[in-house]
Every structure is written in C-alpha cells, then in structure tokens.
Structure 1
Amino acid sequence: MPRSLSTALQTQVSSTATKTAFLVELNLSSTIRLTDYYTNVVYDSNTYEAGGSFLSVDPTAETGQLQVDEINIGFSNITDQVRSLVQTGAFTDKEVEIYLAYFDTNEAIVGAINYFTGQIRNVSIQENINNSVLSMTVASHWSNWNLTKGRHYSDESQQAFSSNDKGMEFATQVKEDVRWGM
C-alpha cells in the first residue's frame, strides 16, 4: 500500500532508538480511542486514552495478494461502556482503525501510519474474578467478498418479499429457452 510520510516521520522510522505505540479507534455507536502508550496521546486532534486496556495487537504483513486479512486485538480491564456495547451486539461490522504512532526522544508524537483498517468480525469476552479480557477479530473490507447481493428468482424469495404474491410460484417450471418476440 503506498504511503506518503512526512520527512520527520521518515527520519524517526529509520532511527535506531524508536518509541512506538498503537492507537486504536473503535467506531461503535460511540467512538472509543485507546492506546498502549503509558500516557494519553493526541493525534490528529483526537485523544487516545491510556489506561492499561491493551494486551496485544497481532502482527500483520502486507502482500500483493488479494486475500482476506484479519487481525486480533486483545483488551484487558474493559470498561462497563465497552462491555455493554459488546453484549448488546453494537459491534457488528463497525469500523476499526489501528495506527502505529512514532515518538521522538522528547516523547512528542512525530506522526502515525495506518497499521490496519477493517470491520469487526467477532468479539468474545472472557471474565474471571480478577480480570476480564475482550478479544476482537477485525477483518479487512474483503471479508464479505463472497456475499451474494440482491434477490433470487424463486418462490421462496418472492414470498419473503410479498407473502401473498403468486408471480414466482411456477418459476422453476418455466422452459429453459424462452424466445421473445417471435
């Protein structure tokens, strides 16, 4: 994926001493922004909260192949707000953006690159007496590549659309080679 990086970010990325952090934006019914950095991070006029919520972000690799990429994100100590959004199913097909932020030696943010963007495929919560862990699988926009759009020309499809319509009742018994205008 082509990227245009600022000169400062190019310098920081190629530096031997690089500090990085993940910035995750969950676009649920309300937007939640989190970071695994030790303090809150302001990037692109948005504040990403540091609260020890992160456990992990899986590594990902770019390829030239047309494929469905997935990434797993792990959160710990999730808030009641996030838990209720997950329990009500308010996460399905919502967008998630993950950035990799770079910091200079003064711990000021130099910039960030898009690490992964996709839609939430599934979420699970595992809780015990000491901890709650939320695991989220995010898939690229190719994840619904095989989804069939539209309707089928069958009586079942027509009945779902209009229950008393008999227009497609004999659709499967129609002659294969229909010649029009003869």
Structure 2
Amino acid sequence: MPRSLSTALQSQVSSTATKTAFLVELNLSTTIRLTDWYSNITYDSNSYEAGGSFLTVDSVTETGQLQVDEINLGFSNITDQVRSLVQTGAFTDKAVEIYIAYFDANETIVGAINYFTGQIRNVAISENISASNLSMTVASHWANWNLTKGRHFSDESQQSFSTGDKGFEYATQVKSDVRWGS
C-alpha cells in the first residue's frame, strides 16, 4: 500500500531509537479513542485516552493479495461505557482505525501512520472478580464482499434511521418464516 510520510516521520521511522504507541479509534455510536502509551496523546486534534484500557494489537502482514485480513484487539479493565455499547450490539460493522504513532527523544509525537482499518466482525467479553477483558476481531472491507447492501430490519438499524421509532422494537422476536397469501 503506497504511503507518503513527512520528512520528520521518515527520519523518526529510520532512527535507531524509535518509540511507538498504538492509537485505536472505535467508531461506535460514541467514538472511543484509546492508546497503549503511558499518558494521553493528542494526534490530529483528537485525544487518545491512556491507562489500563488498552492491552494488545496483533501484527499484520501486507501481501498485496485480495484477501480478508483480520486483526485481533484486546482490551483490559474496560469501562462501563464500552461494556454497555458492546452488550447492546452497537458494534456491528462499525469502523475501527489503528495507527502507529512515532515519538522523538523528548516523547513528543512526530506523526502516525495507518496500521489497519476495518469493520468490527465480532466481540467477546470475559469477566471475573478482578478483571473485565474484551477481545475484538476487526476485518478489512473485503470481509463483507457478499453482504447484501441496504438496511437490516432491526431496531438498531431503524433507530439510526429514525430515532425514537418503535416499528422494529420486537423485530427479532417475530417468526422468521412469514408466508403472505394462501
């Protein structure tokens, strides 16, 4: 994938002492921005929250082939806000952007490059008495190649189209095989 990097970022990437951090943007009904850096980061006028929320990002290999690439994200000690968004199903096919930020010797951000962009494929939450962990699989846009375009007949889809409408409130409880006429 072609990229154009600023001169400062090219110098930092080729430096022997490079400090990096992941910046993750979850575009749910509320945009959530997280980082694995030890303090909050502002990049491109957006603030990425640090501290305990962010755990792991899998590695990705570019092949140049038309294939469905996936990446797994792991979050620990997730907030009630994130848990609520996931439990209500507000994550389906939502966009995720992952960047690698580069820092200079003074720990000032030099720039960031796109690491992965895709849509959330699935999410799982595991909780115990001392921790709440969330694992998320994000797939490239090729993952929905066979998806029929248009709206889904669900309450969530209807709410994004017409907030407050109750028309599809019980859509998931309706008989799946409805026959019209005799």
Q: Please report the TM-score for the alignment, with normalisation by the length of structure 1.
A: 0.82
Aligned residue type for 1:18: T
Q: Tell me the amino acid that sits aligned with residue 131 of structure 1.
A: A
Structure 2 gap segments, 5+ residues each: 151-176
Q: Which runs of structure 2 are paired with 1:150-169 in the superposition (5 Å)?
A: 163-164=180-181
Structure 1's consecutive aligned runs of 4 or more residues displaced over 2 angstroms after TM superposition are 146-150
Number of aligned positions between the proteins:
156
5+ residue gaps in structure 1?
Answer: 151-158, 167-182
The aligned residue for residue 110 of structure 1 is: 110
User: Where do 1:138-177 residues align within 5 Å?
Assistant: 138-148=138-148, 163-164=180-181
Answer yes or no: is 1:99 the counterpart of 2:116: no
User: Distance in 2 between the 1:19 and 1:2 partners?
Assistant: 23
| Alpha-carbon distance between aligned partners in 2 of 1:149 and 1:25, rounded to the nearest angstrom | 25
Residue 163 (structure 1) shift: 3.3
* CA–CA distance in structure 1, aligned partners of residues 80 and 54 of structure 2: 16
Per the alignment, residue 69 of structure 1 pairs with 69
In 1, the alpha carbon distance for the partners of 2:35 and 2:55 equals: 11
Within 5 Å, give how 1:1-40 maps onto structure 2. 1-40=1-40
Give the 3-state SS of the residue equivalent to 2:55 in structure 1.
strand
Q: Tell me the distance in 2 between the aligned counterparts of 1:140 and 1:17.
A: 31
Q: Which moved further from structure 2: 11-20 or 141-150?
A: 141-150
Under a length normalisation based on structure 2, what TM-score does the superposition of the two structures give? 0.82
Inter-partner Cα distance in structure 2 for 1:134 and 1:13? 31
The CA distance in 1 between the partners of 2:15 and 2:28, in whole Å, is: 36
Measured on the aligned residues, the alpha-carbon RMSD in Å equals: 1.7
Task: Work out which of the two has the higher radius of gyration on C-alpha atoms and give 1 or 2.
Answer: 1
C-alpha distance in structure 2 between counterparts of 1:141 and 1:29, whole Å: 19
% identical equivalent positions: 82
Aligned to 2:158: none
The superposition leaves residues 1-48 of structure 1 with CA deviations (integer Å, 9 ceiling, x where unpaired) of 100000000000000000000000000000000000000000000000
